[in-house]
């Protein structure tokens, strides 16, 4: 039970909620997969002329339990993160529980010009880095003039 005070205890969480509500209200045609923010793992996506680089911030996961799949131009990152909170200790008090626990699944649409056969992924310092190279034909080329 959480008794809400006149002045919210966690002001930033309240502001974040307000911002999300405003975004939802103003965005008349949002993405079919909804708002990106707030999911686990957090995703950063960047592109270079040669590849698409995806960084999934998924700390504390056994890499063997991370599942990366590409099907029909859609990349899926799935897995499970176990909770660090005690379940059997009766004398334990949980003061803060903000970290994500449980099963997760996130989906990213890839551009058409990528080579899904040459995707590589590595897990380092709790970040899953997925490298999706573009097809040879899509890479920038310099054309020599005769």
Partner 1 sequence: MTTALEKTSANASQAASREEAAALLPPVDVVENAAGITLFADLPGVPKEKLVVEVEGDTLTIAGEVQLDLPAGIESQHAEVSLPRYRRAFTLSKELDREKISAEFNHGVLKLIIPKVAFAQPRKIGIRIE
Q: Does 115 bind partner 1 (CB under 8 A)?
A: no
How many Å apart are CA 10 and CA 97, to the nearest integer?
A: 14
How many Å apart are CA 102 and CA 96, to the nearest integer?
A: 17
The DSSP bridge partners found for residue 107 are 76
Provide the minimum distance between the beta carbon of 146 and partner 1 in the complex, in angstroms, as a whole number. 29
Q: Does 139 bind partner 1 (CB under 8 A)?
A: no
Q: Does 51 bind partner 1 (CB under 8 A)?
A: yes
| β 127-133/67-71 pair status | unpaired
The residue among 21 and 44 lying less far from partner 1, judged by its C-beta, is: 44
Provide the minimum distance between the beta carbon of 15 and partner 1 in the complex, in angstroms, as a whole number. 13
The residue among 34 and 86 lying less far from partner 1, judged by its C-beta, is: 86
Provide the minimum distance between the beta carbon of 3 and partner 1 in the complex, in angstroms, as a whole number. 20
Q: Does 113 bind partner 1 (CB under 8 A)?
A: no
Sheet holding 102-109, edge to edge: 67-71, 74-81, 102-109
Cα-Cα-Cα-Cα dihedral of 134, 137, 139, 143, to 10°?
180
Q: Does 5 bind partner 1 (CB under 8 A)?
A: no
Q: In a 10 Å sphere around its CB, with 0-12 CB exposed, 13-18 middle and 19+ buried, how is residue 102 labelled? A: exposed
Provide the minimum distance between the beta carbon of 83 and partner 1 in the complex, in angstroms, as a whole number. 8
Q: Does 86 bind partner 1 (CB under 8 A)?
A: yes
Contacts 24+ apart (CB under 8 A), 16-22: none
Q: Where on the chain is the footprint of partner 1 (CB under 8 A)?
A: 12, 36-37, 39, 41-51, 53, 55, 57-61, 84-86, 89, 91-100, 123-127, 129
């Amino acid at each position: 039970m959480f008794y809400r005070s006149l002045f919210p205890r966690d002001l930033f969480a309240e502001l974040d909620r307000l911002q999300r509500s405003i975004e939802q209200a103003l965005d008349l045609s949002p993405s079919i997969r909804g708002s990106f923010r707030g999911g686990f793992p957090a995703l950063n996506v960047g592109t270079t002329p040669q590849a698409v680089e995806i960084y999934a911030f998924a700390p504390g996961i056994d890499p063997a339990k991370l599942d990366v799949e590409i099907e029909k131009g859609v990349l899926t990152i799935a897995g499970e993160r176990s909770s660090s909170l005690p379940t059997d200790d009766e004398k334990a008090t949980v003061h803060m529980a903000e970290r994500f626990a449980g099963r997760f699944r996130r989906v990213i649409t890839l551009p058409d010009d990528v080579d899904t056969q040459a995707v590589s992924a590595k897990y380092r310092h709790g970040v899953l880095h997925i490298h999706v190279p573009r097809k040879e034909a899509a890479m920038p080329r310099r054309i020599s003039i005769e």
